[in-house]
Structure 1
Amino acid sequence: MLAARVVAYLNVDCAVQAGDFRASATPQLDELIIQAAQQVRNPDNSSQTIYESWLASGNVTTVKLGRLGGAGSDYAAFVQHIGSPTLDMSFGEVASIWGLVALRLADDEVLPFNYLSYAYELQKSAEYLEAEISDKGISLVPLYASIEKLRKAASRIKDDIKALKAKRSCAPVRELNDRLIMTERAFTDRDGLSSRTWYKHLIYAPAKHNDYGSNSFPGISDAIESAKSLNSSDSWHSVQHEVWRVARAITQASLVLSGRLT
């Protein structure tokens, strides 16, 4: 029941602590978190919003959110096993931001999930991966192709929302929201990671030998680690197999998001 109906999981391990605001999330929640941070004043500096202080703390022009590949927190079961959109925050005034995020998730007619952010993050991760194994004869063509399919599906969501407003009917809204929820589930595989089957998510999971280390494409990372050790043709073939598994999951997610797979 939880896997079928949970919309998103909001995790707060450290509700009150000193220091700057920190947030990690599955990427479709990035925009929502930023919007909430722009609406809350910093209790330690009322001349700034949390978002402005967040920028200033890193001396950057855009904020950087962490991802949820590490274990050792309650969110692990939700994102890495079930495949639920998930957010983890810590700050002294986190309740205000948490409340705004929860309110939007509960009250917005269409869930405020932006999967263009997800496609962007996957593209960056694929580029890092390519730099690591560019000389190993591994083709990332299927991975890049699947990410492009997700990007196109995410781009069409705005058109779907416009069409819904014209229809003024509840049923299509429910169907679209189901697609937005279940897209994250589509990144999971029931067989899980090789030798770590509890972890079902093929995009975010802990590093194999470090529960607190976070990997994008953990199955591919595990296979690369093994291949570097064994350095056999079979071991590098396993890396290619994992690339295909991830590409298949991302393609499946794009089909769910576009309403072509339920």
Structure 2
Amino acid sequence: MQEKAVVYINSDDSGRGFLGAGGSQALETFVDEIAQNVIDPQANVSVFDRAKAHELVDASSAKAKKEILERKGSRLEALGSGSDFSSFLQHLGIPTLNVGYGGEDGGGEYHSIYDSYDDYVRFKDPGFKYGVTLAQTTGHAVLRMADADLLPFDFRSLYKTLDKYAKEVSELAEKMRENTEMDNQLIKSNDYAIAADPTKHEQLPVAKAEVPKLDFSALKTALDSLKKSADKLALSWTAASATDADKDKLNKLLFHAEQQLLSAEGLPRRPWYRHTIYAPGFYTGYGVKTLPGIREAIEQRNFTEAQQQIGVVAGSIMQLATYLAKPL
């Protein structure tokens, strides 16, 4: 399977609304290309343009809207679980793309007696227009990938996403440190007891262990190496695409790259989940956690494990950077 499954493409139930896609971030430019060539049946513009317009209108601030306008492409969401893509991505390390249409009110009838054919044809997708659009989207994706002389992977997008995730977990640890210090100060000065309503008999908070400074330097070093490798590979990809030379070696490097992000030991207490970048949260059901080993250890205040997982994630990213830098 790992030799033949270049990308696993999954389509969710279609519903009237806007294109949504999640998956391996090296596929972002590939998805943009597909989305720009499929027409939305309601707005009569590309599904790329409609999804971007929806994102702009829904953005919560002028700053967020400006960032969307300045961004050239779209962003793939991280994948959690709840579909058959989980084994491909999170256990086997096969690049994965999950595509669907939605964005309107879910309705609340999912997995109930009201989740019926009549409900679908009357409310979800009258005329089956978005079912057709979903088939066009996944069909374009499969044909583009199957017919590509060079697989359309761009690891510069992955680098940007991983850099964002690394900043998030660093900020998470820093905010937890600041909040813990302040709460402990208020507990020590008896402010919680003074402010409490004595008629409610509320339990007062107790002091927590201070949050140590975590060392993210290994993660930063690995990301710097990934950026260099991704930039160099993009140049090699462009040069190779302009020639008639045999591209098999480069293609094999591209579609095996995701497996470099797997950990042989898997996540703590969840060895089946081997991807160090994406996993469903331990306590969030289908919901995704990015850099799950680091993020969940910080959230659980297990800072020894958090530091250990920083090393694990840094090692997998460095392994990917070294792999992408192989001479072709």
Same fold (TM > 0.5):
yes
Paired AA for residue 135 in structure 2:
A
In structure 2, the residue matched to 1:232 is none
* Separation of aligned partners in 2, 1:166 and 1:19: 38
* Separation of aligned partners in 2, 1:9 and 1:80: 12
Whether 1:129 aligns to 2:129 is no
In structure 1, the residue matched to 2:26 is 28
Contact preservation (8 Å) 1:187, 1:202: yes
In structure 2, the residue matched to 1:10 is 9
- Map 1:1-262; keep pairs closer than 5 Å: 2-14=1-13, 16-46=14-44, 48-59=45-56, 60-61=68-69, 62=71, 63-68=74-79, 70-91=80-101, 92=130, 93-134=133-174, 135=177, 136-164=212-240, 168-170=244-246, 173-226=247-300, 228=301, 235-259=302-326
CA-to-aligned-CA distance 1:185-227 (integer Å, 9 cap, x gap): 110012111100100000000111122121111111232233x
Instruction: Choose between structure 1 and 2: higher strand proportion.
Output: 1
How many residues align? The count is 248
Contact preservation (8 Å) 2:150, 2:241: no
Larger mean Cα displacement after TM superposition, 108-117 or 58-67: 58-67
The 1:165–1:87 alpha-carbon spacing in structure 2 relative to 1, beyond 3 Å, is closer
Gaps in structure 2 of 5+ consecutive residues: 57-67, 102-129, 178-211
- For residue 168 of structure 1, report the CA deviation from its aligned partner: 3.5
Paired AA for residue 84 in structure 1:
I
* Separation of aligned partners in 1, 2:27 and 2:241: 23
Q: Based on CA coordinates, which of the two structures has the bigger radius of gyration?
A: 2
Query: Where does structure 1 differ by over 4 angstroms across 4 or more consecutive aligned residues?
Result: none
Match of 1:186, SS?
Answer: helix
Paired AA for residue 192 in structure 1:
G
Give % identity: 29
Paired AA for residue 93 in structure 2:
G
Paired AA for residue 239 in structure 1:
A
- For residue 165 of structure 1, report the CA deviation from its aligned partner: 5.3
* Separation of aligned partners in 1, 2:2 and 2:15: 31
Match of 1:41, SS?
Answer: coil
Instruction: Tell me how large the CA RMSD over aligned residues is.
Output: 1.8
Gaps in structure 1 of 5+ consecutive residues: 229-234
- For residue 162 of structure 1, report the CA deviation from its aligned partner: 4.6
Match of 2:268, SS?
Answer: coil
Match of 1:87, SS?
Answer: strand
- For residue 166 of structure 1, report the CA deviation from its aligned partner: 7.0
* Separation of aligned partners in 2, 1:71 and 1:82: 14
- For residue 174 of structure 1, report the CA deviation from its aligned partner: 1.1
> TM-score, normalising length from structure 1?
0.89
